[in-house]
Structure 1
Amino acid sequence: MVIFNYFNNRDIPFGEHWILFLLYLLLNIIDTLTGFAKARINNQESSSVALIGIIRKMGYWIMILIAFLIPVGFQELGKIISVDLSVTIFLGWFVLASLIINECRSILENLVDAGCKVPQILIKGLETASKNIESIGEENE
């Protein structure tokens, strides 16, 4: 617990919500591993498909970076024109939330394809969460 108290300091690079970025990273790793397992069980192993998946995950991290950098730029512009644009930070959080949900859904799909019995409540719950996040994003457009 001491380590968590240390990282709750706001002066760390990812801020006080660093755990969400760590969660997403762990989900990336779990999704990759369950994808490998699914491919092996179904005799569909392919290094090129695995490479594409890893490159795609790197693209998602770039998307997160951009989603958090854009608000920083808007906030700076807001200071110049005397308009509070701090609400734009929600862009990054919506993107991160959407990607976390998608990783969870992908892990469950991998497990189902590998022959595991996944409770429908997990699948339906993640579908509902995904729809809610998407609807919030559409309302703000």
Structure 2
Amino acid sequence: MKMKLLQEFNYLDTYNAITGVVIVFLSHVFGKYWYLFMVFLALNSIDYVTGWLKSKILKKINSNAGLRGVIKKLGYWIMILVAFIASFFFIQIGAVLGIDLHITTALGYFVLASLSINEMRSIVENLVEAGYDVPKILTKGLEVADNIINQNEE
């Protein structure tokens, strides 16, 4: 009994150590709000799966379309990277010029928010096209959020 209890603590310690290392790594790479990037990654994955599900239900599975979807997701991550690099660049230029440009950090987060809403809307569209009954409040709520985030684009 005592040996089994020790093994369970060993597994728990190992799990905690691995989880801690992963969180420290993510915090180092993505910063304080690393979990927002992980939510976006989860949305990417869910969108891919619901797109595949839709294609399967509609009997329109196409490996080229799936590859295009993966490449599109990679493009989204590149956009986010460019937005945060631009923000970092502006902050550094501002420091050289003696101007506080830390507000440009918002650029990266607005891009992340906009692309996240886009992924959410795509997930809902996939579910609707696959025949699921999606509540109107969800589709309209995402549309409103998209309009608010992107209101200055037009």
- Does TM, normalized by the shorter one, top 0.5? yes
Contact 2:91-2:102 at 8 Å conserved across structures? yes
1:8 Cα shift? 7.7
1:114 aligns with 2:130: yes
Residue in 1 that maps onto 2:80: 64
Corresponding residue pairs, total: 136
Distance in 1 between the 2:57 and 2:96 partners? 57
* Secondary structure in structure 1 of the residue aligned to 2:32: helix
Residues 54-63 or 8-17, more deviating: 8-17
Contact 1:9-1:15 at 8 Å conserved across structures? no
Contact 1:68-1:91 at 8 Å conserved across structures? yes
Alignment equivalent of 2:107, drawn from 78, 82, 91: 91
Residue in 2 that maps onto 1:82: 98
Distance change (3 Å), C-alpha of 1:43 and 1:94: same
Distance in 1 between the 2:31 and 2:89 partners? 18
Distance change (3 Å), C-alpha of 1:10 and 1:79: farther
* Secondary structure in structure 2 of the residue aligned to 1:16: coil
1:14-66 deviation per Cα after TM superposition (whole angstroms, max 9, x unaligned): 11111100000000000000000100110111111111111010000000000
Residue in 2 that maps onto 1:29: 45
Distance in 2 between the 1:76 and 1:105 partners? 35
Identical columns (%)? 48
Contact 1:8-1:16 at 8 Å conserved across structures? no
1:39 aligns with 2:59: no
Alignment equivalent of 2:28, drawn from 8, 12, 19: 12
Counterpart residue identity of residue 111, structure 2: V
1:54 aligns with 2:104: no
1:7 Cα shift? 3.4
Q: Which runs of 5+ in 1 are unaligned?
A: none
* Secondary structure in structure 1 of the residue aligned to 2:132: coil
Let me know the Cα RMSD of the aligned residues. 2.0
Distance in 1 between the 2:41 and 2:80 partners? 12
* Secondary structure in structure 1 of the residue aligned to 2:29: coil
Residue in 1 that maps onto 2:5: none
1:12 Cα shift? 2.0
* Secondary structure in structure 2 of the residue aligned to 1:116: coil
Bigger Cα Rg: 2
